[in-house]
């Protein structure tokens, strides 16, 4: 899929977006790609969960 997006002009870094539960992060992250997650109204509460998978890149907690 990444090659298809680049072939169509996509020029942003590829990343994943997953839910806040551990099972969702386990199944959704891709090695070598930035992992992001959606946390709803309590983003700071779940930030450590994402840090387990996103060890070196930035981790931000953003909510409504």
| Sign of the CA dihedral running 39, 60, 46, 21 | positive
pLDDT at 58: 67
Domain ranges of the chain: 15-64
Q: What rounded mean pLDDT belongs to the chain?
A: 77
Neighbours of 14 (CB within 10 A): 13
Neighbours of 20 (CB within 10 A): 17
- pLDDT tens for each residue of 32-59: 788 887 877 777 777 777 777 777 766 6
- pLDDT tens for each residue of 3-27: 888 899 988 888 888 887 788 878 8
In the chain the beta strands, taken as DSSP E runs, fall at 15-18, 34-37
Distance CA 45, CA 10 (A): 33
């Amino acid at each position: 899929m990444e090659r298809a997006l680049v072939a169509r002009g996509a020029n942003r870094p590829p990343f994943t977006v997953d839910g806040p539960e551990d099972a969702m992060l386990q199944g959704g992250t891709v090695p070598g790609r930035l992992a992001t997650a959606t946390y709803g109204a309590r983003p700071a509460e779940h930030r450590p969960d994402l840090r387990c998978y996103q060890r070196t890149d930035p981790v931000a907690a953003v909510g409504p």
